[in-house]
Amino acid sequence: MKTISCWNDLRPYGIDVLTGEACGLSYRFLCDVTERGRKILERWLSVPELNLSDAWNRGDVADPHVGSILLTPEVLAGISVFALLEAGCTECWVCRNGSVLGVEADDPPEQIAASKRMRADNIARVFRSQGTAGDRNVHVMSGRIE
C-alpha cells in the first residue's frame, strides 16, 4: 500500500510544492511539476495537453520541471487519488483525516482486508477506475469519451 498524507508526499509523483507566498491571497501553493506531474494533473482535471505557467526551478536533470501551477489545499486528496491510480494502484481510500491510501496490485488480500478493518471508521470514500473508458465513461448514444 502507498500513502499520501501531505503535499510533500506528492513529490515522487512529479508535483513539487515550493511556497505559499506566490499567491496574492495567501491561499494557493506554488507547485513545480515534472512531465509525470503534468500527466496526473491532466487526468485529474480531464484537460488534455494542460498548458502550465513556466517552471520556477529546473528540477532534476533526469526529470526536469516542465511548468508550474497554483493549487489550493482542498485539492490534495483529489490529486492524490489520481497520482496513486497513475502509479498503478487498483483502488484508493480517501480517509476522513485527509490522507489517501492506494492499494497496489500485488498487495496480499489478507493485508488489504486487515487494513480496511483497521481503518473502517476513517475511510470516507473508495475509488477504482471502473469507467467504461478508464476513468471516463463512454457516452452510450455517440460512443464518445471526450
pLDDT at 23: 86
pLDDT at 140: 63
What domain range is 111 assigned to?
A: 2-127
Which pTM value belongs to this model?
A: 0.88
pLDDT at 146: 63
**Alpha-carbon torsion, ordered 107, 85, 78, 92, to 10 deg:** -20
Residue-level pLDDT, tens digit, the chain, 146 residues? 999 999 999 999 999 999 988 888 989 999 999 999 999 999 999 999 999 999 999 999 999 999 999 999 999 999 999 999 999 999 999 999 999 999 999 999 999 999 999 999 999 999 988 766 566 666 666 666 66
Pull the grid cell for residue 80.
Answer: 492524490
Give the largest Cα separation in the chain, rounded: 48
137, part of any domain: no
Residue 34 has φ and ψ, to the nearest 5°, of -90, 180
106, part of any domain: yes
140, part of any domain: no
142, part of any domain: no
35, part of any domain: yes
Domain count, the chain: 1
**101, 3 Cβ separation under 8 angstroms:** yes
28, part of any domain: yes
97, part of any domain: yes
107, part of any domain: yes
**143, 132 Cβ separation under 8 angstroms:** no
